[in-house]
Amino acid sequence: MPDILVDRDAAGIATVTLNRPASLNALTRAMWGDLGAAFRALDADEALRAVILRGAGERAFCPGADISEFSDARANAAQARSYGDLIRATLEAIRLCRHPTVAMIHGPCTGGGLELATMCDLRIAGDSGRFGIPINRIGVVLGYPEYRAFLELVGRAVALELLLEGKVIGAAEAQAKGLVNRVVPDAALAEEVAATARRIAAGAPLANRWHKKFAERLADPRPLTEAEYQEPYDAVETEDYREGTRAFLEKRKPAFRGR
């Protein structure tokens, strides 16, 4: 079977699975490329409402890159840069995916696996979750784009604590440090993530996409333009706005169409 699986359901929810359970879903170079391609394809799918990212099996989300490839794929600075550019493109595809994304995390979520999770909008962990980027143990340095997202999520003090000490922490501590949104028992993880995705999918998709876009824009220090100030109010011109307000007044569930 492919190392990256993509499934869609009738509710407009896609599930992307890292599919190397025998290797705890460690990422090969080819998987990085396929994962980026999968998210770019999902971004273009107007019918989607939410995306779940998970690891196959019951042992791990993802422990990071497959280090056994490094002697061939990262043998010198030029190769490392090429590998890093591929990683960067994939992480950007996840971060900039227009649809809300949810990481479903159980077991190890370390190194490149944690980088993937930080690009998702929400992170929900089972109590077996383990988190860290202990790459100083093998002499690897975190690239600037990956580091930026990590810093934005947890702040300088926590990021440096995990990087400099090479710590791997449990799910409860990860939640306390802001790495994950919530922690549930492993047995309840799949249903909690599915319920989260259903709640997202039930909302107006255009509103969700705008909120993602605005969060990304507000991380940019440049002043907002007049057109950008206007954009939130343009929602009033959409069918979703009219349907949402009408359904509220009629005390029924809205039928959003994403336009």
Domain that holds residue 217: 204-249
Q: How many residues does the chain have?
A: 259
Q: What is the CATH number of the domain that holds 163?
A: 3.90.226.10
DSSP state of 255: -
pLDDT number for residue 102: 98
Q: Same domain, yes or no, for 80 and 120?
A: yes
Query: Is 44 inside any structural domain?
Result: yes
111 contacts 64 by C-beta, under 8 angstroms: yes
Query: Is 258 inside any structural domain?
Result: no
Cα 132 to the center of its chain, rounded Å: 16
Q: How far apart are CA 181 and CA 117, in angstroms?
A: 11
Q: E-strand spans in 2-147? A: 4-8, 13-18, 50-55, 101-105, 108-110, 122-126, 130-132
pLDDT at 1 over 90: no
Q: Same domain, yes or no, for 124 and 195?
A: yes
pLDDT number for residue 69: 86
Q: pLDDT, tens digit, for every residue of 91-122?
A: 999 999 999 999 999 999 999 999 999 999 99
Q: How does residue 9 score in pLDDT terms, banded at 50, 70 and 90?
A: very high
103 contacts 120 by C-beta, under 8 angstroms: yes
Q: pLDDT, tens digit, for every residue of 176-207?
A: 999 999 999 999 999 999 999 999 999 999 99
> Strand, helix or coil at 122?
strand
Q: What percent of the chain has pLDDT over 70?
A: 100
Q: Same domain, yes or no, for 209 and 135?
A: no
Query: Is 28 inside any structural domain?
Result: yes
Instruction: Tell me the two tokens of residue 51.
Output: 């995306």
Q: Same domain, yes or no, for 169 and 181?
A: yes
Q: Same domain, yes or no, for 90 and 185?
A: yes
Poorest-pLDDT segment among 57-61, 69-73, 208-212: 69-73
Pick the last residue of a domain from 186, 201, 216.
Answer: 201
Q: Same domain, yes or no, for 101 and 210?
A: no
Count of domains in the chain? 2
Q: Same domain, yes or no, for 146 and 218?
A: no
> Strand, helix or coil at 179?
coil
Contacts of 34 (CB under 8 A, 6+ apart): 2, 3, 4
Q: Same domain, yes or no, for 170 and 244?
A: no
- Pairwise pLDDT comparison (19 vs 58), residue with the higher score: 19
pLDDT at 89 over 90: yes
First to last CA, the chain: 36
Q: How far apart are CA 17 and CA 56, in angstroms?
A: 6
Q: Residue 186 to residues 7, 59, 176: CA-CA distances in angstroms?
A: 22, 11, 18
Predicted model pTM:
0.93
Mean pLDDT of 82-90: 92
